């Protein structure tokens, strides 16, 4: 669950919230490394796929030969709840 939270947090802090503003898996991996977390490509891929199945993340427009990913409204709401940023309620 820790890596899934980290992936969601990276998308959230980078404002990847639409098909146009999305991050590639490579971008996510680089951000994880910058945060001091090192995960293999396959693990990151599997966790992103799990987040897509859960409805927190969707695929955006392709960037070169790479898929991109962004937060759905469910993912954004979940992050706001976890971060305690529930001022909209």
Indicate if the pLDDT at residue 15 is higher than 70.
yes
Indicate if the pLDDT at residue 88 is higher than 60.
no
Residue 34 lies in a domain: yes
User: What is the pLDDT at residue 58?
Assistant: 95
Q: Can you spell out the DSSP letters for the chain?
A: -HHHHHHHHHHHHTT--SSSS-EEHHHHHHHHHHTT----HHHHHHHHHHHHHHTSEEE---BTTB-EEEE-HHHHHHHHHHHT--TT-
CATH number of the structural domain spanning residue 49? 1.10.10.10
Residue 24 lies in a domain: yes
Indicate if the pLDDT at residue 42 is higher than 90.
yes
How confident is the model over 63-82, as pLDDT tens digits?
989 999 999 999 988 888 88
> Model-level pTM?
0.84
Question: How many domains in the chain?
Answer: 1
Print the domain residue range for 57.
2-83
Is the distance from CB of 59 to CB of 52 less than 8 angstroms? yes
């Amino acid at each position: 669950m820790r890596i899934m939270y980290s992936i969601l947090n990276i998308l959230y802090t980078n404002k990847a919230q639409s098909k146009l503003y999305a991050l590639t898996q490579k971008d996510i991996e680089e951000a994880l490394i910058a945060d001091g977390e090192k995960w293999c490509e396959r693990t990151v891929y599997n966790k992103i796929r799990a987040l897509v199945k859960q409805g927190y993340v969707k695929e955006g427009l392709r960037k070169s030969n790479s898929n991109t990913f962004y937060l759905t409204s469910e993912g954004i709401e979940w992050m706001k709840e976890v971060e305690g940023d529930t001022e909209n309620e």
